[in-house]
Structure 1
């Protein structure tokens, strides 16, 4: 796997911090990593975006942002309101393949969920994954209400012939409730994809040194980590 597409069940689920953990774990294994953000929204010119945050937490990655739109909206809506051209799937494909030629791993971090529109033609991150023939990692919330969105995301991937590489919980609470704990077993059942990690609540607030030291322990071996889903579930019964 040289290219991995990272999406979420929604906004604010921890995609960027998970992307940083993926990068940190790969870097710890001696792999070269690039992070590609097709469309950064809600950040003004000159302000640090998601790519900068990944680099801050994970370490020396190659970062590339294809477009930036100031309002915190879906990429297509934000581009239209800013009077700017949207990002097209073939542009993302070209950039990802260029980065893959010189890096062991390219992480393509989408905006929002899988089917958030990129342009007026209705293109989405799913179209990007299809062009790249790349697996998709889904970042999900931990608690009540997330199973439906996770299942819909997995169903959308399957209907397009795309591979759901697995799910990662973007923010596992310090004091998990009943729904959080039950979802550990239910995520794989409803999505047909493995649970491949869980980042602790507040992981993004750690110092870069502490974040890098801990990242591999939050991710399963399939993501260059040491996290064990069965052990984690047993610890949170």
Structure 2
């Protein structure tokens, strides 16, 4: 692995790693809304999608929210696989195994040129990227505080507790949770999850995004100062 101390000298003081309890929980939505809020506050913030599989739609959204031209897509998303599977599997199928060092270099290049880098992971916390190397290892190598995104639904409390414990076990700080509503309808589980997740995880709820919400308030994210 890359030396975490070396990575921390390249912008990790204010940058963050955004992960999820699973795929499709709203990581890109949260990342783009944070980028838009930060840039509205005149902060020099950019998104970073180290690896994507299947398409580059998420990376393109981060690029647009970062205010960067289209020719910077490879800087925002240095590793792209055509196959919509975990990067580790895609690398095998496409005979192009992922090099973790390339992901670190991409982050450092952006961090050297911008105040904040919002790194969006792929899928959940333990998605495999290469043999013996997962999303969690990338977060450790970048030495960044983690924001955890979860879709509000039955079962999310279990997923939150497991993921927060896993983040802490790697010696990283989970700076907070963003609970995301994927649909309009509410049930008892969705209504009550918000009230108990802090007690169960020991991590603050930073924001609860209702369905269709198109903004985030930076005052809810003290990590950005």
> Same fold, TM exceeding 0.5?
yes
| Superimposed CA distance per residue, residues 189-227 of structure 1 (whole angstroms, 9 cap, x where no aligned partner) | 222111111222244xxxxxxx4xxx13487142669xx
Q: Are 1:77 and 2:89 counterparts?
A: yes
Q: Is 1:199–1:218's contact at 8 Å kept on the other side of the alignment?
A: no
Alignment of 1:70-219 (within 5 A): 70-88=82-100, 90-121=101-132, 123-171=133-181, 173-203=183-213, 211=214, 215-217=215-217
Query: Cα 1:140–1:180, aligned 2, differ >3 Å: closer, same or farther?
Result: same
Q: Are 1:60 and 2:60 counterparts?
A: no
Q: Is 2:46–2:62's contact at 8 Å kept on the other side of the alignment?
A: no
Q: Is 1:136–1:163's contact at 8 Å kept on the other side of the alignment?
A: yes
- Measured in 2, the distance between the counterparts of 1:139 and 1:199 equals 10
Q: Is 2:98–2:129's contact at 8 Å kept on the other side of the alignment?
A: yes
Alignment of 1:33-48 (within 5 A): 33-43=45-55, 48=56
- Measured in 1, the distance between the counterparts of 2:99 and 2:18 equals 17
Query: Cα 1:126–1:54, aligned 2, differ >3 Å: closer, same or farther?
Result: same
Shift of 1:175: 3.5
- Measured in 1, the distance between the counterparts of 2:98 and 2:57 equals 18
- Measured in 2, the distance between the counterparts of 1:224 and 1:174 equals 30
List gaps (5 residues or longer) in structure 1.
Answer: 204-210, 226-237
Q: Is 1:15–1:139's contact at 8 Å kept on the other side of the alignment?
A: yes
Q: Is 2:44–2:116's contact at 8 Å kept on the other side of the alignment?
A: yes
Query: Cα 1:29–1:16, aligned 2, differ >3 Å: closer, same or farther?
Result: same
- Measured in 1, the distance between the counterparts of 2:108 and 2:166 equals 24
